[in-house]
Structure 1
Amino acid sequence: MNQVTVCEYASLTTHPVKTPSLALAQVSPSAFDHLCTLSEQFRRGGASLVRIDGRTRLRLDGFVGVIQTPCGTTVEILPKHTEGTGERDKEASRALLRKLIQSMFDMKAREVGVASLETFNAPLTEWVMARFLDELDHIVQRGLRFNYQRVEEEQPYLRGQLNVMAQLRQPPGREHRFQIRHDVFTPDRAENRLLRSTLNLVCKQTTSTDNWRLAHELSVRLAELPDSRDIQADFRAWGTDRLMAHYQSVRPWCEIILLKAMPLALQGQTKGLSLLFPMDRLFEQHVAACLRRRLDNTYRIRTPAASQYLCQQGGKDIFRLEPDIFVEHGPTNKWVLDAKWKLLDETNHKEKFDLSQADFYQLYAYGQKYMGGVGNMALIYPMSAKFSRPLAPFDFSNQLRLHVLPFDLTSERIIGLGAMQLPALIPAVASNQLNRAHAA
Structure 2
Amino acid sequence: MTPAPRKVSVREHAWLCTEPVPASLDCAQVNESAFDYLCRLSDRISRGGARLLQVEGRRRLKLDNFVGVIETPCGTVLEIVPKHHSEGGSLADARALLRKLLLALLDLPARDVGEASLQLFDAPLSDWVMGRFLAELDTLVSCGLRFEYHRVSEELPFLRGQLNLNQQLRQPPGCEHRFHVQHEVYLPDRPENRLLKLALERVRQGTRNAKHWRLAQELSFRLAEIPASQQVKQDFRAWGHDRLMAHYRPIRPWCELILNQLMPLAVAGEYQGMSLLFPMEKLFECFVARWLRGSLAAGVDVRTPARSQSLCVHQQKPIFQLEPDILIADGSQRWVLDTKWKLLEASNRANKYGLSQSDFYQLFAYGQKYLGGNGRMALIYPRTENFRSPLDGFDFGGGLSLVVLPFDLDQECLLGAEHLGLAHRPKRLAA
Q: State the TM-score bracket (shorter-chain normalisation).
A: over 0.9
Secondary structure in 2 matching 1:248: helix
Match of 2:324 in 1: 323
Deviation of residue 262 (structure 1)?
1.2
CA distance in 2, matches of 1:224, 1:296: 49
Q: Which has the higher mean CA deviation after the structures are superposed, 152-161 or 279-288? A: 152-161
Of 308-317 and 247-256, more deviation after overlay is shown by 308-317
- Partner of residue 123, structure 1: 124
Deviation of 1:149 (Å): 1.5
Partner Cα separation in structure 1 for residue 14 and residue 357 of structure 2: 25
Give the equivalent residue in structure 2 for 1:242.
243
Q: What secondary structure, in the 3-state scheme, does the structure 1 residue paired with 2:250 have?
A: coil
| Alignment match, 1:260 | 261
CA–CA separation in structure 2 for the residues paired with 1:109 and 1:290: 12
Q: Indicate if the aligned counterparts of 2:14 and 2:25 stay in contact, CA closer than 8 A.
A: yes
Question: 1:399 maps to which residue?
Answer: 399
Aligned to 2:6: 2
Deviation at 1:160, TM superposition (A): 2.1
Deviation, structure 1 residue 213: 2.0
| Structure 1 residue 132 displacement after superposition | 0.5
Provide, for residues 304-343 of structure 1, a one-character-per-residue CA deviation record: whole Å limited to 9, x for no partner.
Answer: 111111122332322111100011122x211100000011
Q: 1:339 maps to which residue? A: 339
**Given that residues 373 and 398 in structure 2 are in contact (C-alpha distance below 8 angstroms), is that contact kept between their aligned partners in structure 1?**
no
1:39 aligns with 2:30: no
Name the structure 2 match of 1:160. Answer: 161
Please name the residue that 1:408 is paired with.
408
d(CA) in 2 for partners of 1:164, 1:2 = 65
Among candidates 19, 34, 37, match of residue 15 of structure 1: 19
SS in 2 for 1:250: helix
**TM-score for both structures, normalised by structure 1:** 0.92
Question: Moved runs in structure 1, 4+ residues, more than 6 A?
Answer: none
Contact 1:147 1:186 in 2 (8 A): yes
User: How much does 1:244 deviate?
Assistant: 0.7
Say if 2:208 is the partner of 1:182.
no
Where does residue 28 of structure 1 map in the other structure? 31
Instruction: Assess if the C-alpha contact under 8 Å between 1:155 and 1:179 holds in 2.
Output: yes
Equivalence for 1:388 = 388
- Aligned-partner Cα distance in 1 for 2:368–2:113: 48
Contact 1:309 1:319 in 2 (8 A): yes
| Contact 1:9-1:61 at 8 Å conserved across structures | yes
Q: For 1:170 and 1:297, locate their aligned partners in 2 and report how far apart those are by CA, in whole Å.
A: 70
Separation (CA, whole Å) in 2 of partners of 1:334 and 1:393: 18
Q: Distance in 1 between matches of 2:372 and 2:224?
A: 60
The equivalent of 2:369 in structure 1 is 369
Structure 1, residues 330-379: CA drift from partner, whole Å, max 9, x if none? Answer: 2x211100000011122112212111111111101000000101111100
Residue 25 (structure 1) shift: 0.7
Deviations 1:257-291 (A, max 9, x none): 12232121114343521111111111111111111
Aligned CA distance change for structure 1 residues 282 and 317 (closer, same or farther; 3 Å): same
Contact 2:53 2:63 in 1 (8 A): yes
5+ unaligned residues in a row in structure 1: which ranges?
A: 436-440
Displacement of 1:109: 4.9
Counterpart selection for 1:59 from 50, 58, 62 = 62
Aligned to 1:438: none
Q: Distance in 2 between matches of 1:142 and 1:74?
A: 35
8 Å contact kept, 1:22–1:85: no
Matches within 5 A, 1:202-281: 202-270=203-271, 272-281=273-282
Deviation (angstroms), 1:217: 2.0
Q: Which residue of 2 aligns with 1:348?
A: 348
- TM-score scaled by length of structure 2: 0.94
Q: 2:389–2:406: 8 Å Cα contact kept in structure 1?
A: yes
Deviation at 1:406, TM superposition (A): 0.8
* Alpha-carbon contact 1:70-1:269 (below 8 Å) kept: no
Change (3 A) 1:334 1:352: same
Quickly say closer, same or farther: Cα 1:151–1:118, change in 2 above 3 A.
Answer: farther
- Are the counterparts in 2 of residues 344 and 355 from structure 1 also a CA contact under 8 Å? yes
| Separation of aligned partners in 1, 2:398 and 2:262 | 44
1:397-416 CA distances to partner (integer Å, 9 max, x unpaired)? 14111011111112322112
Aligned length: 427
Instruction: Determine the C-alpha separation between the residues in 2 that align with 1:65 and 1:312.
Output: 40
- In structure 1, what is the Cα distance between the partners aligned to 2:135 and 2:88? 31
* Distance (Å, rounded) in 2 between the aligned partners of 1:40 and 1:368: 38
**Alignment partner, residue 85 of structure 2:** 82
The change in CA–CA distance for 1:155 and 1:36 in structure 2 (over 3 A counts) is same
1:257 maps to a residue whose letter is I
Shift in Å, 1:84: 3.4
**Displacement of 1:174:** 4.1
1:219 is displaced (CA, Å) by 1.8
Q: Aligned letter for 2:338? A: D
Q: Distance in 2 between matches of 1:262 and 1:149?
A: 33
CA distance in 1 between counterparts of 2:426 and 2:159 reads 66
Question: What is the CA–CA distance in structure 2 between the aligned matches of 1:83 and 1:112, rounded to whole Å?
Answer: 27
Q: Provide closer, same or farther for how the CA distance between residues 283 and 112 of structure 1 changes in structure 2, counting only shifts above 3 A.
A: closer
Counterpart-to-counterpart distance in 2, 1:6 and 1:237: 39
Note closer, same or farther for the CA distance 1:20–1:111 as it changes in structure 2 (3 Å cut): closer
Between 111-120 and 340-349, report the one with greater CA deviation: 111-120
Q: 1:119 to 1:9 in 2, by over 3 A?
A: same
- Match for residue 418 of structure 2? 418
Verify: 1:200 aligned to 2:201, yes or no: yes
Q: CA deviation at 1:172?
A: 5.4
The Cα of 1:112 is off from its aligned counterpart by 7.7
